[in-house]
Homo-oligomer: A and B are copies of this chain.
Amino acid sequence: MIIGVLGPKGTYSEKAAEQWIEKNGREGEDILEYCADIQDVFSLLEDKKCEIGVVPLENSIEGSVGITLDRLLENDVNIIGETIVTIEHCLLSRGKKEEIKVILSHPQGLGQCRQFLKNHFPAAELRTTGSTSHAAKLATEFEEMAAIASPETAEMYNLNIVMPNIQDRKHNHTRFVIITRSNIPESVQKYIKKDKQGSSYKTSIIVYLDRDRPGALYAILGEFAKTNINLTRIESRPSKKVLGDYVFYIDFEGNINDTIIKDAISNIESNVGMLKILGSYPEFDSYCESN
């Protein structure tokens, strides 16, 4: 299969894809297609130039990745998996610390090291790139440039680790989702087991509430509470229609094939302006051990 990830080589998104490939025992069977940015991963999938995409969804320091949330709403996608990657940002450069005047990274990388940048490089020019490894690649050009990226990219692009572990908090994790088209390609279907038990599954939905119905969010959460469905995440994002109007991204434990989940969703559907089911997928549960 072809898997779309953020490129060039060395991104955390590539690492996420490799984790997922390994977990599914597919080493050597898939080809990674490197994209310039997150939007391009979604486009590649939509244009049927890949079967699977791997995109970052949320980070433990900087929060949601807005563009991913927007594309999950607007594009024709289905989430079939998740994986969590430990992030260890380093400052990479050909030059020395004193020489660095320009620092490049993905906006999330810059955000996760905001305090570090303010303390150590208050006058540096900050440039955003489509990915952390793209930043590393560009930083090879001049000694006054540095990238915020993984230690692996240092070796890959022949850069020095000027400062290791520079994120603002010791623990830094990003949750990636594995996506495909809603009309799941056959090659992908072979690798999705529909677990009827559902206990280790998670489901993601997006709901848009009617603005003139106060208490609608409460009613939705009530559907989960009354049957003890465990919510793992709730996130709001502007509807982009008018300020103060939101869509909600809700993740919860359970599989859409479970009767209890089916019933809850059907009850919710009648209470909201729009409901989109993003998919049910095996929960990534080993990350807690790494903390």
Residues of A219-239 at the interface with B, using a CB-CB cut-off of 8 Å, are 221-222, 224-225, 228, 230-238
Closest to A63 in B: B238
Contacts of A63 in B (CB 8 A): 64, 66, 236-238
Q: Would you call the interface of chain A mostly helix, strand, loop, or mixed?
A: mixed
**Interface flag for A61 (CB, 8 Å):** yes
> Assembly of this chain: how many copies?
2
Task: Find out whether the CB atom of A238 lies under 8 angstroms from the CB atom of B60.
Answer: yes
Most buried by B among A37, A64, A118, A129: A64
Closest to A110 in B: B128
Contact segment of A10-18, A191-199, A242-250: A242-250
Interface residues of A toward B: which range?
Answer: 35 or more
Residues of A44-72 at the interface with B, using a CB-CB cut-off of 8 Å, are 58-64, 66-67
Q: Roughly how many angstroms separate A61 CA and B246 CA in the complex, as a whole number?
A: 10
Task: Find out whether the CB atom of A214 lies under 8 angstroms from the CB atom of B240.
Answer: no
- Residues of chain A whose beta carbon lies under 8 Å from any beta carbon of chain B: 37, 39, 58-64, 66-67, 84, 107, 110-111, 114, 118, 125-129, 169, 171, 173-175, 214-215, 217-218, 221-222, 224-225, 228, 230-238, 240-246, 287-288, 291
Counting from the closest, the 3 A-B pairs by CB-CB distance are A60-B243, A218-B221, A173-B243
